[in-house]
Structure 1
């Protein structure tokens, strides 16, 4: 396995700590992995039924016009007196693509760590979980930078992901890179091979056009959404004066009355509310976590198989 590039590590609060991302492997190792897909032939393998060029025999059925005559099941045909075609099952290695929001809005947090750091931790856990189950893992950043790492398997794939997350998190938050979610999904849609997609975002980049783009991505891959929010975006803040610092400027907001506090929370939480509503309307799996939570449970719930109905 190649060595991890040496870089100045983050503090784990406002910037990503590479050491922590790598150490998360041990936490995932103590989790009993759920099956990644109820239709998977085995861990990390996505099964698709094809005619002809496959690897393993699946079953035979009555011949239909257009079937490859080279795949006729002559034994069953002789027994039944009716033409039957063999169906084969081709097995493909599962691929998880993580879409990571790196907008400036992610560099915010009032509890424990920034949303950007929490998002990186969740992405690393997802990577370690996926490769442990036999999948390849890749990632695409959108917002404060447009980066891509192609899916790779095994521990090397997860280490590559952690290194990329640390690099992306080390970039200073900036204005002007306001890539809407719809554009990011369009870029993701042009990538081929992902069997599953995990979107990690605070939702502030969620725009009207994202609905159609997300629906299109979901046609080709299983999509899950993890919403990362600060405590002030999820709950009504208690009365008080709140200092904020942005781009070197420090300001203080006074929130005393119920109306002030409600409007403030509504404004801050608008992004996560839009993204949750979008995921719900499309029937996608979703979870929401704050910056102080342990993201492991949410990640495993999103990546595990749906319970049988």
Structure 2
């Protein structure tokens, strides 16, 4: 799935059905088991084996292998299962209403956000959405992950194409950290482009992202378009800033194209380094690429690199 079906884009229900089918075929199951319980209690997965205490432990959980080896009755205690709460911060500023390939950045961002919601779907799991827009942050209360995915997928066409002001990405991440305190998954979907053109570290959003990652499992989904990485060889161009409305004519020479490409590559490398230093996951999706493949590769990489912290066993 490298692009959007134009007919599906005009029909939100059809678009969501197509996305759901893609997730089920290519991504379903990749996140299963990533979020284990953090406390002992009622559950199904064994966590530790302890001596049997009459009147306190369930005899149905006797571990007969350990009991036979130790000649004393032992039981296993399960890890408690709990619902996963995911919050999605979706950048819907005018810079996202841009695209020169198969889809606009806003459409790709909504599809990726909906895919993450479908991947975290499970009994009791919920998804909340925060939308960063020129008129402020819009909060949507958590609901079932599947319902949240449907809501996010339908919002791609609602991104404003002009407008300035509103909170910054740093302020939005900080607001999310203060609002949703329960540990869970936090996904930030943005192009990570600063309105003032900041292209080197430190970025304004780094402190807020670092605080968010200290409490939650954070994933940053960076959405880019190929024309943001290099300029076309078209001679005289009129470039317009969608957030400020300022326009400027630029003659695209070979030297300018070379310097622009080097600066864009440096910016993307700095962004990746900043996200990594905040201890957050980072995946970059392009409007001209197979974003489902890239997302699947990222999720598989996180699963293979996941190493649970061993808990102290009681005796």
- Say whether the fold is shared (TM-score over 0.5): yes
Q: Secondary structure at the match of 2:257?
A: helix
Deviation at 1:203, TM superposition (A): 0.9
Matches within 5 A, 1:1-309: 18-19=12-13, 21-22=15-16, 23-36=18-31, 38=33, 40=35, 46-50=36-40, 54-55=42-43, 58-60=47-49, 88-131=78-121, 135-144=125-134, 145-153=136-144, 155-163=146-154, 165-166=155-156, 169-177=158-166, 179-190=167-178, 191-193=180-182, 195-205=184-194, 208-235=203-230, 237-238=232-233, 240-245=235-240, 252-258=249-255, 260-265=256-261, 272-304=268-300, 305-308=302-305
Gaps of 5+ in 1: 1-9, 41-45, 63-69
- Distance in 1 (CA, whole Å) between partners of 2:107 and 2:169 is 20
Shift of 1:202: 0.9
Q: TM-score, normalised by structure 1?
A: 0.71
Note the C-alpha offset of 1:231. 1.0
Provide structure 2 residue ranges, at least 5 long, that are not aligned to the other structure. 308-315
Whole-Å separation in 1 of the counterparts to 2:187 and 2:49: 36
Q: For this pair of structures, how many residues does the alignment match?
A: 280
Normalising by structure 2, what TM-score?
0.70
CA distance in 2, matches of 1:127, 1:88: 27
SS at match of 2:26: coil
Q: 1:142, 1:184 within 8 Å by CA — same for their partners in 2?
A: yes
Q: Quote how far apart the aligned CAs of 1:90 are.
A: 1.5
